Chains A and B, each alone.
Chain A
Amino acid sequence: MSLSRRHCFFGVFWLILALFILVAKIIPSGRVSYEVDYHHLSRPLGGKGFIGHLTPAERVSQEAKEPALVGGDPVYFSVFTPRTFSEAKVTITYRDELTPNTPVIEAGVLVDNLVWRYLTKPLENKTLDSLKDWSLVSDGERSLYQKNPNFSSVADFIETATKNPEEICPDGNLNSCLALYNPPALDFLQKRIPGPTLDFVPWTVPLRGTHQFYFTAPTNQELFFSFILADLNLDKRDDPVHLIVYEGSQIICQSKIEDNDGGEGEGEVQTKTATLTCPPLLNQETLKLEVKGSSDLVIKEISAAPGALNFVGRVYPVEAEVLPLEFWTDRNLISLTTVNPASRQEITFGDQEFSLAEPYERYEFANQDPGLKKVTLTKVDVILETGGVLAPQAETFFNPDFDVLSRYFSLNEETTYILAAYQPPLFRTDGLKEATVTFNTQAAYRENGKYSFMISIPGLAPADSGQLVIEKIKVEFTGRSLLEKLSDFF
């Protein structure tokens, strides 16, 4: 039987089509670049392209063939890739119409879908860019900003910081004069200055969601923690809880409490106890405890811990037998939100009073008085954030952290050095800025062939009149080529 010309043509055509689809799927070169230019964006055939829309819609205003106007924080976009890649280089071209209240712009990639955690990197930090009279040395990746030009290279500074910290900060405590931004991974930054060991006071105010705590552990003693945890079962998914103890960014012990009780989505509260035991430490150290779970998690009680607990970053109390609740902070800016109309209240921050007037709004209150200040909450069901340490008692307050140039940062007299893995954006002659960040996407979370990215302008809210005008997003992916993959087999 001989094939007709028509059949041959037909066969070759479908073969070429199949080959094209295969190549489009495999991307043999291991490199691909996707971009969306909002000035020329047209999708007449109804496709979504590789880079999805900026969401949620209420934070972005997007007209056809106009740049995207971002008026809220954060916004997300997903990028479809036919295969996995190991690295993503994200370039954002934007016009900056932000107010001085929002000095930081960051981009992030989703790495943990359980707590919706994005690994963020800086696009622009105006606090750093404004240090015009400081001396700057950089090795391409890491930059050192110095009030007085004492060091000629970053390597020189790192060596001195490791061996003779008192040459940098007179009291020998590096966090008294060194501030960080997007800190590079360096050993000397991992060691926190040990705080005083203070007796543990049981915590009985129920807390909702993930919380982190600092504590100072005594030497040669097993670290024992005990919790009473509740699962609200409002969400349909299982709600496992992770108990993790960190030394710097290293995990020293952890335990996972599985959610085998069922009842998800039925709203019936289930309570259980959980414990964590870690091996003893050789030196007295300040460690971080993280109780990580979904928004269904309530930490009802912490009945045992090796030392006094101080909150890190945020606290979300949901019930209290005794009011008001008090927290102590050394920060000058606090932020508060509630989703409960019954939790509207007057807050005191230091000696000033502020009003949390509406639910679902994020309020920020500033108090420039130096030193430790008390925050008083008269009602619960409020999320209080500071970007720093929040202590339940003034006596237990201890800040082992370096100052970080977040939007909560205000430059003080003591800060004489800033170490940052940061490159300022490119200021183009047409008034646009172009900022690039590179992410390791091997650790990133990928679902339905999509990586999820975020653009964050901390503090940007509809009440703030600023906006970020995004003209173009470009994502360049790099991964192993087909040849490299095949060479594994030989």
Chain B
Amino acid sequence: MVFFELIWPNSVLAFFNLNYAVLAWLILGLILLF
């Protein structure tokens, strides 16, 4: 369950009030940054 949350972080989405599309763009941005 905890592992699932790492790849599908519902609590982070709720915490930052994001939807999935915005989170996906953020992660993509971070990957590109490095």
Taking Cβ atoms with an 8 Å cutoff, the residues of A that contact B are 6, 9-10, 13, 18, 20-22, 24-26, 43, 45-50, 80, 82, 449
Known A20-B12, A21-B12: A47·B19 in contact at CB below 8 Å: yes
In whole angstroms, what is the CA distance A434 to B26 when docked? 39
Closest 10 CB pairs of A and B: A82-B11, A47-B17, A46-B19, A24-B11, A25-B5, A47-B18, A10-B34, A50-B14, A21-B9, A45-B18
Instruction: Name the B residues within 8 Å of A82 (CB-CB).
Output: 5, 10-11, 14
Cα A129 to Cα B15 in complex, Å, equals: 39
Tell me if A43 and B12 are in contact (CB < 8 A): no
Per the bound structure, the CA–CA distance linking A6 and B17 in Å amounts to 30
A25-B11 contact, Cβ under 8 Å, with A18-B6, A82-B5: yes
Residues of A within 8 A of B17 (CB): 43, 45, 47-49
Contact in complex: A21, B11 (CB < 8 Å): yes
- Beyond the given pairs A22-B5, A47-B13, 6 more chain A to chain B contacts, judged by CB atoms under 8 angstroms and listed by A's residue number, are A20-B12, A43-B17, A45-B22, A46-B18, A50-B14, A50-B15
Q: Which residue of B lies closest to A46 (CB)?
A: B19
Judge whether B28 is part of the interface by a CB distance below 8 angstroms: no
Task: Tell me, yes or no, whether B32 is within 8 Å of chain A by CB.
Answer: no
Which of B11, B13, B22 has most A Cβ within 10 Å? Answer: B11
| CB pair B2 A49 closer than 8 Å | no
User: Which residues of A lie under 8 Å from residue B9 when comparing CB positions?
Assistant: 21, 24-25
Give how many B residues have a beta carbon under 8 Å from the other chain's beta carbons: 18
Q: Is the interface of B mostly helix, strand, loop or mixed?
A: helix
Determine the residue in chain A with the shortest Cβ distance to B4: A25
Q: How far is the CA of A156 from the CA of B34 in the complex (A)?
A: 72
Contacts of B13 in A (CB 8 A): 47
Contacts A18-B6, A21-B5, A21-B9 given: A46-B21 contact, CB under 8 Å?
Answer: yes
Let me know if B16 and A80 touch, CB within 8 A: no
Smallest Cβ-Cβ distance to B26: which chain A residue: A45
- Cα A50 to Cα B10 in complex, Å, equals 10
Q: How far does the Cβ of A446 sit from chain B's closest Cβ, in whole Å? A: 13
A14 to B12, CA, bound (A): 15
The residue in chain B whose Cβ has the minimal distance to the Cβ of A27 is B11
- The answer, among A9, A10, A21, A46, for a CB contact under 8 Å with B6, is A21
Q: Could you give 8 example pairs across A and B, Cβ below 8 Å?
A: A6-B34, A21-B6, A25-B5, A25-B11, A47-B22, A50-B15, A80-B14, A82-B10
Measured in the bound complex, the distance between the Cα atoms of B28 and A136 in whole Å is: 63
> In the complex, A24 Cα to B2 Cα: how many Å?
10
Residues in A whose Cβ lies below 8 Å from that of B15: 24, 50
Give A79's nearest chain B residue, CB to CB: B14
Tell me how far the C-beta of B2 lies from the nearest C-beta in chain A, rounded to whole angstroms.
6
Are A25's CB and B19's CB within 8 A?
no
Instruction: Using A45-B18, A45-B22, A46-B18 as known contacts, say yes or no to A449 and B10 having CB atoms under 8 A apart.
Output: yes
A45 touches B19 (CB 8 A): yes
Query: What residues of chain B lie closer than 8 Å to A25, measured between beta carbons?
Result: 2, 5, 9, 11
- What residues of B have a CB within 8 angstroms of the CB of A9 in the complex? 34
Contacting pair A49 B5 (CB below 8 A): no
In the complex the two chains form, is B6's CB within 8 Å of A22's CB? yes
How far is it, in angstroms, between the C-alpha of A50 and the C-alpha of B13 when the chains are bound?
9
Shortest beta-carbon distance, A146 to chain B, in Å? Answer: 47
B21 CB to closest chain A CB, in angstroms? 7
Q: B residues within 8 A CB of A10?
A: 34
CB neighbours (8 Å) of B22 from chain A are 45-47
Nearest-Cβ distance from residue A407 to partner chain B, whole angstroms: 36
Complex Cα gap A9–B30 (Å): 12
Of B12, B14, B17, B18, most buried by chain A (CB within 10 Å of CB) is B14
B-chain residues with CB within 8 Å of residue A43 when the two chains form the complex: 17
8 Å CB contact of B14 from A18, A20, A49: A49
